[in-house]
Homo-oligomer: A and B are copies of this chain.
């Protein structure tokens, strides 16, 4: 037919194969379980909001990247993160919520960026935030990274580092070094590039005269001192000691050092192993949103990926919508990107992608025994599918094979007469005649072994 419409999916919109989707759901479910085990409520906000709400804070860059349109006389925008909707939600329901309010949200967000490899226009974020009413104990800033460690390890990812810093330390140091307040954001942006372009280039950029005035850091000796502190590669204790030398000169700096020390103290208390985190004073997070602790998480073998999980402490969540003071701390996992990377790097455990534990293949025209056995297996906690199509035996077996289903059960006249099933282990090729209960036990045993053996991520 010539008038067929060519099926296609928008570029930058991830659409997985069925087997990959099984693995994605496993990862998503793992995140949910961990988040729930720490007392976070689920939250689900609309994909669409009034533009006025979502763009309360947004600057020029955000506006360019969003999906915004009108329907009737309503100006609508698709959410571009899960934080602004959270702010709206908390402001809207402030009288009904119980604080500290802990919520997780795993949902799609939309950014109309130019599509490129590994960049998505529709992608999942998996956020947790703890919101206080008026105040929020600093120990929460230590619990958040301990949850991230739990998440990563539950997925099977062991080789990662959470880098921790505090924005007050950075701002305080700028004060000490006489860097103007309105230069702070630019200085941070340049320092943020130190891993990419190196210390020397950062220093050059910092001390280069601006078109319309002095350099961000006019004196080279100051830039050197600043970078000596910030890019110090010592242990956490050594870096804290170095910072300690600047104590007493700037109140913000002193508060920042105190907060950092407490967060590191409690992190140890949370049983987080020392090799999973480190103090890194170059971490700034581009956003001018964070005011205290900030986090980035990198996979050790793949620094080029950048941070897979970032966040921090903010002074006030919902200042655009309410005069109530709502400090918080949170973190966001870019789930679609993380999955894309794990998949591209062959880190996913494909043995986990079967849709079902066992395929039941009836060899007679009557399906009633197959139905009976399938119900029995499901009641035993297994998933079971009956192959109903009238295809050749070879094609039926090929179905299980292609889908990676670990077991088949054949039900012929003989088995039915004996009230037994023929169970075939697809990996070994071995076949045995058993009762349905024995078959269920066998498959459950295999399943428990496979579950213990490996996580979703290898």
Contact surface of A with B, Cβ cutoff 8 Å: 1, 4-10, 13-19, 21-22, 24-25, 36-50, 52-53, 56, 67, 69-72, 74, 76, 88-89, 91-93, 96-98, 100-103, 108, 110, 112, 122, 132, 135-137, 139-140, 143, 266, 269-271, 318, 320-323, 355-356, 359, 367-368, 371-372, 375, 378, 382-386, 388-390, 399, 402-403
- B15, A98: Cβ atoms closer than 8 Å: no
The answer on a CB contact under 8 Å between A50 and B8 is: yes
Residues of chain B within 8 A (CB-CB) of A378 are 37-38
Contacts of A50 in B (CB 8 A): 8, 10
Task: Determine how close the nearest CB of chain B comes to the CB of A56; give it in whole angstroms.
Answer: 5
With a cutoff of 8 Å between Cβ atoms, the chain B residues found around residue A39 in the complex are 355-356, 359, 383-385
Shortest C-beta distance, A168 to chain B (Å), equals 20
Q: Which residues of chain B come closer than 8 Å to A136, judged between CB atoms?
A: 389
| Alpha-carbon distance A371/B149, docked complex (angstroms) | 15
Q: In whole angstroms, what is the CA distance A5 to B49 when docked?
A: 13
Known interface pairs A5-B56, A36-B383. Does A10 touch B98 (Cβ–Cβ under 8 Å)?
A: no
Cβ–Cβ < 8 Å partners of A100 in chain B: 388-389
Contact B368 A52 (CB under 8 A): no
Q: Is B5 a contact partner of A320 (Cβ separation < 8 A)?
A: yes
Contact for A384 among B37, B102, B355, CB less than 8 A: B37
Interchain CA distance A100-B395 in the complex, whole Å: 12
Q: Which B residue sits closest to A44, measured CB to CB?
A: B21
Bound CA span A204–B92, Å: 52
Q: Find chain B residues with CB under 8 A from A122 CB.
A: 46-48
Contact A98/B399 with A50-B8, A122-B48, A378-B37 known, Cβ cut-off 8 Å: yes
Which residues of B are found within 8 Å of A322, using beta-carbon distances? 4, 7
Evaluate contact between B9 and A92: CB separation under 8 angstroms.
Answer: yes
Given contacts A8-B50, A39-B356, A388-B140, contact A97 B18 (CB under 8 A): yes
Q: Are A9 and B49 in contact (CB under 8 A)?
A: yes
**A103 touching B18 by the CB < 8 A rule?**
yes
Query: When chains A and B are docked, how far (Å) is the Cα of A382 from the Cα of B367?
Result: 41
Chain B residues within an 8 Å CB radius of A385 = 38-39, 102
Q: List 27 A-B contacts (CB under 8 A).
A: A4-B320, A5-B53, A5-B56, A7-B88, A7-B321, A8-B53, A8-B88, A10-B46, A10-B49, A21-B43, A22-B42, A24-B44, A36-B355, A37-B384, A38-B384, A39-B384, A47-B108, A47-B122, A48-B122, A67-B69, A71-B112, A100-B389, A102-B355, A132-B389, A135-B389, A139-B367, A140-B388
Q: Which residues from chain B contact A323 at a C-beta distance below 8 Å?
A: 1, 4
Q: By the criterion CB–CB under 8 Å, are A21 and B42 in contact?
A: yes
Specify the chain B residue showing the minimal Cβ separation from A385. B39
Given contacts A5-B53, A96-B17, A320-B5, contact A48 B10 (CB under 8 A): yes
Q: Which of B88, B91, B135, B402 is within 8 Å of A98, CB to CB?
A: B402
Complex Cα–Cα for A59 and B43 (A): 35
Cβ distance A53 to chain B, nearest Cβ, rounded Å:
6
Q: Which residue of B lies closest to A136 (CB)?
A: B389
Chain B, residue nearest A107 (CB): B108
Contact A37 B383 (CB under 8 A): yes
Assembled-state Cα–Cα distance A100/B270 (Å) = 49
Are B18 and A371 within 8 A (Cβ)? no
Give complex CA distance A92, B359 in Å.
Answer: 26
Q: How far is the CA of A71 from the CA of B15 in the complex (A)?
A: 20
Q: Which residues of B contact A91 (CB under 8 A)?
A: 7
Point out the residues of chain B lying under 8 angstroms from A56, CB to CB: 5
Contact between chains at B15 and A46 (CB < 8 Å): yes
Since A39-B355, A39-B383, A139-B367 are in contact, a sample of 5 more A-B pairs with Cβ atoms closer than 8 Å, ordered by chain A residue number, is A10-B46, A22-B41, A47-B47, A69-B70, A143-B388
List the 3 shortest-distance A-B pairs measured between CB atoms, nearest first: A39-B385, A69-B69, A39-B356
Contacts of A44 in B (CB 8 A): 15-16, 21, 24
Q: Which residues of B lie under 8 Å from residue A10 when comparing CB positions?
A: 46, 48-50, 74, 76
Do B13 and A48 have beta carbons less than 8 Å apart? yes
Bound-state Cα–Cα, A198 to B182, Å: 75
